[in-house]
Chains A and B, each alone.
Chain A
Amino acid sequence: MWTYEKRLQYPVKITKTCPKTAQLIISQYGGPDGELSASMRYLSQRYTMPVKSVGGLLTDIGTEELAHMEIICAMIYQLTRNLTIEQAKTAGFDAYYIDHTAALWPQAAAGVPFTALEFQSKGDAIADLTEDLAAEQKAKTVYDNLLRMITDPEVRAPLKFLRTREIVHFQRFGEALENTKEKLNEKNYYFYNPEFDKQMIGY
């Protein structure tokens, strides 16, 4: 189960209203490489992982991704909490405003709603961990793109924190893949699916 700790993992204190910035970073809430996708991906994949410690790592990273989603949401909230109708109209936030006012709703920067189609839970440890490595790379690229466009230091600081976390998670998933490989037949990692053909492990 989960319990709530009443603080963010990294502090967010944004004083300047900017709906345009909110519209960009919302992608890391509900977009294809966002934190919600990341969390659901890892927390879905963990149940059938053949190596126990990898299931544990997916739980811990999936949990951290929930905290990252909260950081992103706090940023969007603070960027729009004092929004005037004029600001909403002029900053490209108008369409979002019509549907959600200044509330939080998971969507990509281009308006596509959050969907489970953005991630996989394939039931094959190598396939899933390889997806997880790619997911961290893609999320890092989004943070790079955001850091090129956004100048407000109060927004940049949490974005940089989150970008580094993607790199750390990539390293951990890589190590998890190495740990999984150790349990497999090193002459042919594809002889069986360790997540389904459990009787073959150690073959």
Chain B
Amino acid sequence: MNVQHLAIASVPIQSWGSIYDSSVAINKGTIFQDLDLPFFAADKDENQISDSKQSGKADAKQLEREEKMMQIYETCFVVDDLRLYLDTHPKDDQALQLLKTNLVRRRHLLDDFSSNFYPLTMDCMAEACGAKSYSGCYCWQEGPMPWEGGCV
């Protein structure tokens, strides 16, 4: 018997489809090609995050830092988008596999950034303090504030 489901909103459940590479996904705003639905008034924009490489003003250390930070942005965004997908698709094996890969990568990138530059999370403080020595090191306040736009 077909029940008519009246007087209630319905949204189709998404099924796993084509996934953007992490460097593309952050520019699109989603890892899911099926959910990339651009607005005509913004469709022709060049979607590229600008860095100091283009302006040619930064030194090698700054460029390296920006490159590493960009990898963090990309990997963490894959984690962000997958988290929401898995909240409503907790048994999706492909999503779980991709999450696992990116979580390991995220941890590695954050630790690496911490050792070379400054910590982005409190958990990274261990890494940063280990690399630099404890004396006089309260490195949590090191680096530009996120809203300054100084790192990428």
Contact = CB atoms under 8 A, between A and B. Distances in A.
B149 A12 contact: yes
Interface residues of A, number: 59
Interface in A130-175: 130, 133, 143-144, 147-148, 153-154, 156-157, 159-165, 167-175
- Chain A contact surface mostly: helix
A173 B85 CA distance: 11
A175 B14 contact: yes
A176 B12 CA distance: 11
Contacts of B101: none
Given A78-B147, A177-B11, A171 B35 contact: yes
Contact of B119 (A6, A57, A126, A144): A6
Given A6-B119, A147-B41, A164 B36 contact: yes
B60 interface: no
A9 B80 contact: yes
B8 A133 contact: no
B56 interface: no
A70 B7 CA distance: 37
A5 B30 CA distance: 20
B80 A64 contact: yes
A147 to B, nearest CB: 5
A70 B45 CA distance: 24
Interface of B: 3, 5, 7-14, 26-30, 32, 35-39, 41-42, 45-51, 69-70, 72-73, 76-77, 80-81, 83-85, 87-90, 118-122, 143, 145-147, 149, 151-152
Interface of A: 3-14, 53, 56-57, 60-61, 64, 70, 73-74, 77-78, 126, 130, 133, 143-144, 147-148, 153-154, 156-157, 159-165, 167-179, 181, 186-187, 189-190
